[in-house]
Structures are given as C-alpha cells and as structure tokens.
Structure 1
C-alpha cells in the first residue's frame, strides 16, 4: 500500500472522528436544551398554578441533576415561607378578632353605666368605680397589644445592664404579697441571699415575673400554692415559678406561648385573660438572650422556667 493511500485513510479516519465528535456535541447540546426547556416549562407551570409540585428530571448529566436539586430546594423554601405567612395571617386575623371582642366587652359595660347615669341623672361611686375599672382593662389590653407588636417587629430595644436577679425575684413576690395573703396561698421562696447577676433589663424581667405570678394567681388558684426557686449552673440562671393548680395538658404545652392561645382544655385565656401575656413574656425572655419553658402535671405541679445567661464576673 502506497504512502498516498495510507495518508488518505488516515485523513478519512480523522474526518470521521471529527464528524462523530461534532455529532455527539450536537446531540448533547440538543438534549441539554430540551431538558432545560422542560425544567423551565415545569417551573412556569408551578408558579402559575401555585402548586406544591417538584421538578423531576431523568438524566445522567450530573450538572443538570444538581441544578434540579437546587431548584427543588428553593421550591421547598418557598413553600415553607408561604405556609409561615398563611399561619401568621390566620393568627393576626384571630388576634384582631379576639382583641375586638375583648375591647367590646368592657366598653359595653362603660357605655351601659353612662346611659344609666344619663337617664337617671345619678352618679354613684360604685358606677364610677366600674367605669374606671373597665377603662383600665381596655387600656391594659391596648398596651399589651402594642407591646407585643413592637417586640415582634424588633422595634423594642432593651437597654442591657448588670442586674441582680435575686433582688428582682424578691421584689416581684413582695408586689403580690397582699393578694397572695388574702387568697390563702402557701408561698415557698428559695432565692439565694447572695447576689446572682445577669446581663439583662430590670423592667423586662419584672414584666416577665409579673406575668408568670399573675398567671399562677389567676389560673393556679385551686392549688393555693406559689413557689419561686432561683438556681444556677456554670452558664445559666434559672427562675422556676410553680403552682399546683389544674395545670396545662401536655398536648398544649408548646402552644401556650402562641399569640391568643385560648384552648378550652388548657388553663385557657392565659395571662391577664387576653391571650397575649405569655407571648409577651416569651418574647421578652428571647430579647434578653434567654427563653421560657413549661412543664406541667395537672393538680400536682406546673412550672414555668425562665432561663437567662449567667453573667461572668
């Protein structure tokens, strides 16, 4: 075989190989484009119909599989955000409905007494007392509503400083001494004599303890018991507020801190009767870098525990 013939066959083989490579690249690009068009079409369908579907693609191309996986991650995140928004929207509507009801009730009493005073032309101290009490209830509800709104929007900046938790605990119990005595409560306090410090806000911690103690008096009164224990470990300070009343079923233990939690099977209408108090207490604790948890065995022991970070000396 001559050199010219060999050269011809070599050139022919090279041309064929180049043709095969170009054909494979064409098929590959066409296949990729087809699959990308399918992905794009599916995404458009999911967006237009607001469905919960995922992008499904069958290919051996690792890059396309990774792209589909990342798209599905975004779709899952979108669904979670959408679900959270819907829950928040429902909770907001429920909150506005309940607040409207809670405002309407005392306002009806106020307007009723004013009408009696207008018709009869008389004004007794009892009537004025009722009007004042109901007016204060309305103001307290409005104040709690705006406090919660500011906390959840992040507009409430708490100034942190070194505070003595033991002193605040004792002061909080003393604020309720007369009420507890008049209602025959047994009060057990276990608070160290020596100071225990946290980096916190005195007014915020006082508000938390006020809400928790109020909750005991309002909903744990059957047990006639209030306990407050302050304990520490290397990193944290714990304040336990305990009663022995009817408690809260374990099914609702995680729900009591939700806005306007009013389950009839729990101690319903938590702090101060409008479903906002425990939510405010939990949000304040979070603002202080801590949290509040609940453990409850009905008619035996119900304990709210405030956990705060211990201050290093």
Structure 2
C-alpha cells in the first residue's frame, strides 16, 4: 500500500511540475503576444504574430489576430491613399478655379478703370468674362454631380435605350468640333440597331465625356473611332477610341481617379476638370456596367463600356 501511495505521489508531483511548466510557457506566450501587439500598433509595422504551439486553440487565436492585423493594415493603407488623393484633388481644384477667376478679375479691372477702350475691345473682354464664368460654373456642377453620385443621391431609371441611334446623334453633335481639330471619324456598328438597359441621360453623358476625352488626348492622331457591337456573352460593348499619343501604362489605374489629368493636357483647347472620367465610371457602375482602358501610344487608345443588352 505504501508503495502505491509513493508511486501516486510521484506521479502527482510530475503532473504538477508539468502543469506548472505549461502555465509558465503559456504565460510567456501571452506576455509575448501583449508586447508584440503593442509594438506593432505603436510603430505601425506590417509584422505578424508567430508562435509554435500544438494547442489548436492558440493556433486559432493567432490566425484571428493576424487577420485583424491584416485588416487594420489595409484600412490604414486605404486611409493614407485617400489622404493623398484628397490633397491632390484640393490642389487641382484650386488650380482649375484660380485660372478662370484670375482672367475674370483681370478683364473686370480693365473694364472698370480703362475708359478709353474701344467698343470692340470691350465686347471681346465681356465675352471672355462670360466664357470663364461658364467654365467655373461647369466645374462647380461637376463637383456637385460627383458628390451626388458617390452619396447615392442620383436617381437613375434603367430602360431599353437605342444605343445605335444615340451614338449616331452624339457624333453628329460633335461634328463641327471634330472638323475644327481636323479629326476624321470612323464609325462601326451592325446594320440592325442595338439596345441596352441604361438611363438615357446617363448614357448620353458617358458618350459626351468619352468623346471629349478622345478629342483632348487623341487629337494628334487625327482619328476618332466609335464601335458598337455584341459581346460573346450577349452584352453590348461601346468603344470610343483614338490613335493619339495615348496614356502611359503606369497611368491606366489612375485615369478614373478624382481630379486626375495628364500634366500636358492642361491649358489646351479642351482642358477638363479631371472629373469627367470619374463621373463616367460612377454612372456606368450605377447602370450595372463596366469600363476599362487599353492604350498603346500612337496605335490605339480605347475605352470600352459594357452594358446589359436591352
């Protein structure tokens, strides 16, 4: 009996020692997790937690913590990118508003103080003031429209729209501008009319923006094309393309950002606010469609819009 008690006591002692060792190990692990988490959060690093342990519960905890760290890192990166985008947008807004307003103020000053102006000069300055004031108004409207789109406040009703007829009418409305730029037009679409599910006003604005963009960036190529066709999966693709200097591949992901413009596009005949393509993308997405860009300089720069067929 005494031998049995002695053996039991020994086993109990071993169990207690093993339990104490396990508790010390767990305590060190918890201390490590506490210290590592605080270091990662304080320094904002992209490190991850790593512990080798056979306990499945500890493994699950580590997986959950690392997922949380990944989420925090992605959120922080998005926030940093948004901060950069907002600063760039405010800078561009300031530039685009300051330029026409400076012209307005300059001409107004002359009109107010120079009594010796000829009537023809006075009329020309007044016309320039009117043009620049309209430019500021269009820019403000663009900001307002984008804000409404991103807030989901823009009402949009999808219906069966004759895309073929809309494309023909839209190109006709741009004919004089294209002629002034000496740009030829290439139109490709089936003999039968193609219909899409869209908001007619939104689709018209999409075409306005894409054609204007092609004239602004692709005028040197002297050719503007519009293609309308069915896709293999039964949808309808609308392509607006040109053969100008194109958009560098490094810039493709940025063209739909707010206030983005290629630097050498500023101060040209069809200078934009940098909001046209952003608004275009938002409108297409609201209609359940997609838009992509493919550009090879001096060969073909094409924006492809895909919508559900009507």
SS of residue in 2 equivalent to 1:162: strand
| 2:297 aligned with 1:303 | no
State the match for 2:184 in structure 1: 186
SS at match of 1:143: helix
Coordinate RMSD, CA, aligned = 2.4
The corresponding residue for 2:62 is 68
Counterpart of 2:211 in structure 1 is 213
Unaligned runs of 5+ in 2: none
- In terms of mean alpha carbon deviation, does 230-239 or 85-94 score higher? 230-239
Partner of 2:229: 231
- More displaced stretch, 72-81 vs 204-213: 72-81
What SS class does the counterpart of residue 254 from structure 2 fall into? coil
Residue in 1 that maps onto 2:39: 45
Question: How many equivalent pairs are there?
Answer: 304
Deviations 1:14-68 (A, max 9, x none): 4443443344334323322331232122212322333333223233333223322
Look up the match of 2:82: 88
Larger CA deviation: 157-166 vs 12-21: 12-21
**SS of equivalent to 2:156:** coil
In structure 2, C-alpha distance between the alignment counterparts of 1:310 and 1:8, rounded to whole Å: 91
Residues 54 and 75 in structure 1, CA contact (< 8 A), matched pair in contact too: yes
Q: State the Cα distance separating 1:272 from its structure 2 match.
A: 4.2
Cα contact 2:93–2:259 (8 A) shared by 1: no
Asked if the contact 2:221/2:298 (under 8 Å) is kept, the reply is yes
Structure 2: how far apart are the matches of 1:307 and 1:162?
A: 15
Structure-2 separation of matches of 1:306 and 1:296 = 15
Match of 2:248 in 1: 249
Answer yes or no: is 1:119 the counterpart of 2:113: yes
Q: Which residue of 1 aligns with 2:197?
A: 199
TM-score for the superposition, normalised by structure 1? 0.87
SS in structure 2 of the partner of residue 273 of structure 1 = coil
Aligned residue runs from structure 1 range 11-22, under 5 A: 11-22=5-16
Structure 1 Cα separation of the partners of residues 34 and 159 of structure 2: 55
TM-score normalized by the length of structure 2: 0.88
Provide closer, same or farther for how the CA distance between residues 189 and 200 of structure 1 changes in structure 2, counting only shifts above 3 A.
same
* Matching residue of 1:79: 73
The change in CA–CA distance for 1:268 and 1:238 in structure 2 (over 3 A counts) is farther
Is 1:166–1:193's contact at 8 Å kept on the other side of the alignment? no
